[in-house]
Structure 1
Amino acid sequence: MEPTRTETRHVNGQDIFLRYWGDESLPPLLLLHGFPEYGGAWVDLAPYLCAHFHCIAPDQRGYGQSSAPEGIEPYAMAHLMADMAALLGDKPATVLGHDWGASVAYALAMFRPELVERLIVLNGVHPVPFQKALATGGAQTKASQYIPVLRKEGSSRKLSVDDFAGLLELFSANMDLSWLTPERRAAYHAEWGRPGRMRAMINWYRASPLQVAEPGRPISLPGFPTERLQVRCPHLLIWGSEDTALLPEATEGLELFAADLTRVEIEGADHWLHHQKPKEVAEAILDCVGVDL
């Protein structure tokens, strides 16, 4: 189902391209994509939700048709969060994030709580449990070794050659990409191929303060300001059980940061659950907010 409409808005000094599904009189639902997707990633899920929500799906900074400023510093989380806060204005919303979009969603819930009525995360991680898992040298550390590779200079060029063969290999490693039809793949290639976008997407990783240990070589961490990193609104975590990029250990201890947490597991889905099982994901969301599909 194609969006009801699209537009570009200038917020926080950036041009942000937006897709909308559903009636604007309905409660707003901000949909935040991850790497290496764009706002069109919600084309499978939004049709199941737009009878109950006004779905708002931006291309985040550096992606798709939105601004892609040069350098690494513009992709610090403070700026990424500020983009979405400016987009919401003074109207609170349900915020749903996947992958890197979940990181932005968590930041909004923690630091701009007046804008987030409910937080929904699909296979995404709170920064503290994730950083702890990355530091252990264990399974999540091993699964995340692609992060130091992406941070290296020249990675965007390597991922782009041969019609994005390297990116597609990373995208699909040990996961089901049967949802990526030839038509959809062409759409993704068009977005990845916009000038400067591949480097901008990678700069999200470079700007992140996350430390990734080497497998079998744990690193020590400083203390965390637990009180400042609380999610105080209702929080729904929906997890594709076959994800090989983000493992369950990356969410251990989340209850310490989200007192009102509900966990739902989707069997037969991996990191790309919003494409593979959109109806089941939508049912979990709507059940949590108390309405029927």
Structure 2
Amino acid sequence: MVAHWTETVELNGEAFFIRHWGDKDAPKILMLHGFPEYSGAWNDLAPLLGERFHCIAPDQRGYGQSWRPADPALYKTALLVSDLAALIGDDPVIVLGHDWGASVAYALTIGRPDLVSKLIIMNGVHPAPFQREMAKGGAQTDASQYIHFLRKDGSEDILAADDFAKLMGLFSAKMNMDWLSGETLAGYKAAWRDAAGLRGMINWYRASPLKLGQPGEVIEGLEFDPARLQVRCPHLLVWGTADTALLPAATEGLEEYAPDLTRVEIADVDHWLHHQKPHEVAEAILGWL
């Protein structure tokens, strides 16, 4: 049995809830969840990685049992990265991110390369190729239209109503959600808590500088400097090929930003691959490491 424990720590003067799996003296993997998840999202995958590594999974700012400020300005990327830098300390770690956790993992790796030895991304996107695709007015623009709804004032109230009925619908749009039931579903609902609890999660969207037009709308004038957005460490991208929220085109050209990139595709899974096929995901990660 892989050891599992939890703790609450202070990062930048605020309380953050952390889950751990494995041997605390083993090499560390920092595991960063996305929306609308929490550290318990790793309950299937972390015990498999915990055979060889010390897995560390925070409820990120705005989520679960961690600090949840109501002000969207407190969710800027630099502040999210500062939480992780405080958690990591001085010695670099392996960083694994999914969805929004992938976005902050990229930001951490780019901005604080001294803290990241290797980067693993699961169905998440580097900001430059993702913004490029969202600006085209094509398929990724269409797939991302839900962001407009989330950014509106009061979206958390709509999502929390009727025992999170609308949030469940958003979560499961065109995806296989067979895994979200029983104790797993109860854990998610406990982490969401209520509309006030959802506000912190949704503030990540409100604070994001990503630009999204209406369907078919092209956004002109966006320029990216690959030299400033480099992932200089070894990078693994694990991709569930049936994802309908993040499309494969959003990873095209990633090698320009991450020259030491390995891609692994996992068939018959979508955005929630760590729940659907945790053993295959673990095999891909452990084989690469």
Same fold (TM over 0.5): yes
In the alignment, is residue 76 of structure 1 matched against residue 76 of structure 2? yes
Code of the aligned partner of 1:283: E
Code of the aligned partner of 1:160: A
Q: What's the % identity of the aligned pairs?
A: 62
In the alignment, is residue 276 of structure 1 matched against residue 265 of structure 2? no
Using the TM superposition, name which of 225-234 and 34-43 deviates more.
225-234
Shift of residue 14 of structure 1? 2.1
In the alignment, is residue 259 of structure 1 matched against residue 259 of structure 2? yes
Structure 1 gaps of 5+ residues are none
Shift of residue 260 of structure 1? 0.2
Asked whether the equivalents of residues 273 and 281 of structure 2 are also in contact (C-alpha less than 8 Å), the reply is yes
In the alignment, is residue 189 of structure 1 matched against residue 189 of structure 2? yes
Name 1:116's counterpart in structure 2: 116
Moved beyond 3 Å, runs of 4+:
none
SS at match of 1:102: helix
Asked whether the equivalents of residues 93 and 116 of structure 1 are also in contact (C-alpha less than 8 Å), the reply is yes
TM-score (ref. length: structure 2)? 0.98
- Within a 5 Å distance, the mapping from 1:5-154 to structure 2 comes to 5-154=5-154
Asked whether the equivalents of residues 26 and 52 of structure 2 are also in contact (C-alpha less than 8 Å), the reply is yes
Asked whether the equivalents of residues 242 and 269 of structure 2 are also in contact (C-alpha less than 8 Å), the reply is yes
Asked whether the equivalents of residues 48 and 282 of structure 2 are also in contact (C-alpha less than 8 Å), the reply is yes
CA RMSD in angstroms, aligned pairs only: 1.2
Asked whether the equivalents of residues 32 and 60 of structure 2 are also in contact (C-alpha less than 8 Å), the reply is yes
**Cα deviations by residue, 1:267-292 (Å, 9 ceiling, x for unpaired):** 01000000001000011001111xxx
Asked whether the equivalents of residues 2 and 22 of structure 2 are also in contact (C-alpha less than 8 Å), the reply is no
Asked whether the equivalents of residues 14 and 83 of structure 1 are also in contact (C-alpha less than 8 Å), the reply is no
Structure 2 gaps of 5+ residues are none
Asked whether the equivalents of residues 64 and 194 of structure 1 are also in contact (C-alpha less than 8 Å), the reply is no
SS at match of 1:196: helix
Q: Distance in 1 between matches of 2:45 and 2:221?
A: 38
- Within a 5 Å distance, the mapping from 1:129-278 to structure 2 comes to 129-193=129-193, 196-278=196-278
SS at match of 1:200: helix
Asked whether the equivalents of residues 16 and 60 of structure 2 are also in contact (C-alpha less than 8 Å), the reply is yes
SS at match of 1:215: coil
Asked whether the equivalents of residues 156 and 196 of structure 2 are also in contact (C-alpha less than 8 Å), the reply is no
Q: Distance in 2 between matches of 1:25 and 1:67?
A: 27
Asked whether the equivalents of residues 135 and 221 of structure 1 are also in contact (C-alpha less than 8 Å), the reply is no
Q: Distance in 1 between matches of 2:195 and 2:222?
A: 39
Q: Distance in 2 between matches of 1:178 and 1:2?
A: 26
Shift of residue 195 of structure 1? 7.0
- State how many pairs are aligned: 289
SS at match of 2:69: coil
